[in-house]
Structure 1
Amino acid sequence: MDLVRRWLDGWRLCRGLDPVTEYDDAYLAVLRLPGREREWFARTDNPATVDRLAADLPVGTWLTVTTHDGDRVARQLGAAGGQLLDERRTLMAIDVHEHPQPGTGAYRVERTTEGRLEYVRLLTAEGDVAAHGMMGIAGADAVMHDIQTDPAHRRRGLGSVVMGALAQRAIERGSRTGLLMATTDGFHLYRKLGWSSEATMVTASGTAESGAAGSGAVGGDLGAVLAGG
């Protein structure tokens, strides 16, 4: 799915990761996080491909499949021995030129640019951060990430303000499409702002302890399968 690759290009910028490695069946992102050393993103939800990717998935490796049939993919990942994440996420998109621009109210918007990264913070009169978010610019795409509101300032529509400010900055930088991976809670906010649901993202973590795949080497058995070798 081309949209997955486009989203990955901006997502990895936001997370400070190296460019993903491309294989025939999946993209590989190296995160080096506890329990999440690396993550495979399937390029298709074809049943045979999902089975191949999910087989003997090692501990510390995640596999995310973007699909229109989340229940079927979840069954496949579980049957292969993967530990399913409780929450399914949603890949969403919008034309940033059509994004709402809510007023800021009593808050001040602070914008910062660092290369291909854009940051937005909403500040109180005292200078405290009430909400924040960021995005990575990947050509004509702007990938929103890490949208958060301080608990003391929730239920005031600040998430919408942050998103609107990011969308405006995306327009200024020449982007046209906004992309994001939404949590269950975030999905409802983004849908109200006009974002469309493109697909479900189902993720499982590996449980295999032995074998070449368990070594974590791309050149091992798992890498060979993904590369079609």
Structure 2
Amino acid sequence: MEITAGGLLEVRITPADVGKRVSVRRVEAGLSGSPEFTDTIGVLTSWDQGVLLITKKDGRSVRIAQSSLVAGKVVPAAPARRRGPAASFEELSRVAARSWQPLESERLGGWTLRAAAGFTRRANSVLPEGEPGIPLDDALARVTSWYARRDLPAYVQAATGAAGTQELLCAELERRGWVSEASAEVRIGALAPVGDVDAPASGSVRLTRVPDEDWLGRYGRVDDPEVARRVLVEGPSVWFASLEGGRAVGRCVVDGRWAGFAAVAVDPAHRRQGLATAVMAALARRALEEGASAAWLQVETDNADALSLYDRLGFAAHHAYHHYRAPR
């Protein structure tokens, strides 16, 4: 809230501040008829026809009538919450892309169009690492056509909580009717504490370079095993962990100082027995042997059990990403 020397609230933002992080206060009539104040902090992603669109760190967009503003100012970027390694959005984005490689890709300026016969959104979506080099509407038309030729829905992966240009893209996609179908947090942490966890079943975890039928069956998101294997085995140094009979599985990609965990799944009949922890600990120890020191993972925001596990293992949220689907 901005207060002038005279003690009055003041709106100190304009449409020229689009793309910046702002803090605003608006007033609305409450249920009792008395005025109620609401504060919002996020990136000012648009200001059109008397309406402000502010994208918050969790990816949600808030529309605010200009006429309701009573205070507003530009604020410094929020520091990323981290425990363990420092990392930039650009570094993590590159590492994550190398861990889920598509079967085919095509460049469109600073965008990469990725396809893998529909196996995982991460390998079947546009990765925007810069500007597409053509007007956005033209780029989205090219994207939609490219995926349609492959009988795939068109997705664009965009992030919030890390980079203003990405948040602007989220707002522009929403404005054009693209719908966020899935959101996930990217979390980071120190690798050694994960490897040091004493899990009862850790001694029986088997590590392989290729996922077998039990592993794929427990992962459970596979329509075409051959396509899945081709995507899953690609990466700088990929390891698959499994407990007997596929009771629990996991995947780890070692890439320089980073170990990326994914596809951690446990048989529902054996949950809450520390099996996911055992799988991650075994993978972490192998990654440490290969010289990694930092860990990252992606977890969907509605997966309460996984979020709780990763909290206990010391992973902290770095940023979020969202898969936007083209209008049907």
**1-structure distance, mates of 2:205, 2:250:** 11
**1-structure distance, mates of 2:205, 2:253:** 18
Q: Which runs of 4+ in 1 moved over 4 A?
A: 18-24, 34-37, 49-54, 69-75
Q: 1:142 maps to which residue?
A: 259
Q: Please say if 1:206 is aligned against 2:295.
A: no
TM-score (norm 1): 0.71
**2-structure distance, mates of 1:194, 1:61:** 35
Which of residues 124, 130, 139 is equivalent to 1:38?
Answer: 124
Q: 2:287 maps to which residue?
A: 170
Q: 1:104 maps to which residue?
A: 199
Which of residues 151, 154, 158 is equivalent to 1:61?
Answer: 154
Q: 2:180 maps to which residue?
A: 84
Is the contact made by 2:178 and 2:325 (CA closer than 8 Å) also made in structure 1? yes
Q: Please say if 1:119 is aligned against 2:119.
A: no
Q: 1:54 to 1:207 in 2, by over 3 A?
A: farther
Q: 1:101 to 1:205 in 2, by over 3 A?
A: same
Gaps of 5+ in 1: 209-229
Residue range with higher mean Cα deviation, 136-145 or 162-171: 136-145
Is the contact made by 1:50 and 1:76 (CA closer than 8 Å) also made in structure 2? no
Gaps of 5+ in 2: 1-89, 211-232
Which of residues 193, 197, 203 is equivalent to 2:317?
Answer: 197
Q: 1:6 maps to which residue?
A: 95
User: Rg: which structure is higher?
Assistant: 2
Is the contact made by 2:155 and 2:323 (CA closer than 8 Å) also made in structure 1? yes
**2-structure distance, mates of 1:53, 1:167:** 44
**2-structure distance, mates of 1:117, 1:66:** 25
Please tell me the root mean square deviation across aligned C-alpha atoms, in Å: 3.3
Q: 1:143 to 1:21 in 2, by over 3 A?
A: farther
Q: Please say if 1:27 is aligned against 2:139.
A: no
Greater relative contact order (Cα < 8 A, sep 6+):
1
Is the contact made by 2:105 and 2:113 (CA closer than 8 Å) also made in structure 1? yes
